Each structure stands twice: as C-alpha cells, then as structure tokens.
Amino acid sequence: MTNITKLLCLGLCLCAVACGNPSQKASDTEFTDSVAEALACGGQIDLDQLQWTREPAACEMKDGVISITTAPHTDLWQRTYYHFRNDNAPVLQMKTREKFFSFMVKTDFTQSHQRFDQCGIVMYLDSDNWLKGSVEFENEEFQHLGSVATNNGYSDWATTAISADVKTMWYRLSRREDDFCIECSTDGINFSQMRVCHMYAATDEISFGIYACSPEESSFTAVFTDMKITECAWKAHDGQQPDEE
C-alpha cells in the first residue's frame, strides 16, 4: 500500500469512528476518493458513490449487481478511420487521485445479440480522452475482444476474435501514475494483458468504472458484478532500465 493510500485510509477510518457512518455518500463531501475508501473497506465498492456521466435507457442497482439497459445508437468513438464522433454511451464511474491501484469487474452480456453491442470497463475523462475494454458482438460465430485508447480526440482499436459462445468476461484496469493496463479473464483468476498505454490527460484525478452501449438499432441489458478495488496488480517493470534524461 502506498503512503498516500495509508494516510487516506487512516483518515477515512477515523472519520467513520467519529461520525458513526462508515459509508458516507459522495454527495456529503466535495470530494470522496473512491479508491481510498474501497481499500479501507477491504476492496468493497460503495455503489452509492458511483456517478453517471451519462445515464442509460434503464438501470437497476441492487445487492452489488448493476444492470444497464442500452438505448439504440449509443457509442464511444472519436474520428480515426471512420471520421465520425460518437460520444453518448452511458458511463457509470467513481473518482480517485490515487496513482497506484487496480479495479476489477465481471460483465455478463448474455442478452447481446446485435452487431456492435458491447459492455465493459472504462476510464472516461472527457470526450477526447478515455480508455475502454470490452467484448463487441459481431455475429453468431465470433465477436471482438478489444480495447480503445483515445488521446487528444483520436481513437485506436486493438482487437482479437473470440467465439460468440463467450458470454461473460472479467476485466482488470490498473493504474501506475499516467500509464494504464487493461487485462481480461474468463474465470476471474487468470488474467491476460490486452493493452498497455499512456493517457496524457490522466495526470491527477481520474474517473473510471463501467459502460454499455448499442451503436446500431438495438438494445440489450448488460449485468455487472464482482466489482472490487485492490492494490495495483500491475507490478513495476523489473527489466531494462529507463533511459537517462
């Protein structure tokens, strides 16, 4: 645990003892660091602290389960190759200034059945700067497991084809200052790297969480469970030393 996290966790614990309220709502203070509070609670995330960047067609949050129903023609993409800008996907996030941590979530997209339906993990800073990882439905034979990093208004897309039979996926987003790693897992235990990237706008406070969308004429319900914050699982590099500046 970093020194910053230790101090924040100590402050949160003292506040809980003094006030008798260990799950203070985000609206009660000007800024609640969701990562520090979750780490102080053993990784458990208070769903009341999640905030909508954009709300979906419908949503239900109960007993640690979040169900998001998408509206047609919702998506996240900026400019590259397609030359259009889509910035209306529902995004549910928490805030932090902690520089080293990991966020995990399980996604269930059993109901997705139309082209480009998707749901997954996201770090949405603003229209021109965001990061996402998801499975995107293509057809009854295969779908795209991929990630998008958008810096300064331009998106890229890295994908691999997986079987259309896959209907659940775990994701892990890890932060090391302004560098990020997205990993995926089919069992929630063994994770494989999807992407390592630098996010230019992620120098201090960030927002991150989950999203779902349906870019074409469709709608489905995505289910998110097993959300957890941990110490950074993406360890410091121990190989080639950095160049001297």
Question: How far, in Å, CA of 69 to CA of 170, rounded?
Answer: 19
What local confidence, expressed as pLDDT, does residue 2 receive? Answer: 52
* Domain annotation covers residue 35: no
The number of domains in the chain is 1
Q: 195: which strand partners?
A: 182
* Domain annotation covers residue 4: no
pTM of the predicted model as reported, rounded to 2 decimal places = 0.86
* Domain annotation covers residue 132: yes
* Domain annotation covers residue 54: yes
Q: What are phi and psi of 16, to 5 degrees?
A: -65, -40
Residues of the chain under the 70 pLDDT cut: 1-30
Cα dist from 185 to 44, 107, 216, 233, 237, whole Å: 20, 11, 27, 14, 22
* Domain annotation covers residue 1: no
* Domain annotation covers residue 12: no
Range(s) of the domain holding residue 216: 45-230
* Domain annotation covers residue 51: yes
pLDDT 10s digits, 45-98: 999 889 999 999 999 999 999 999 999 999 999 999 999 999 999 999 999 999
- CA 189 to the chain's CA centroid: 18
Place of tokens 């979040």: 66
Neighbouring CB atoms inside 10 A of 47's CB total: 16
What local confidence, expressed as pLDDT, does residue 49 receive? Answer: 87
- Report yes or no: 118 and 20 within 8 Å, Cβ to Cβ: no
Query: Domain of 63: which CATH number?
Result: 2.60.120.200
* Domain annotation covers residue 110: yes
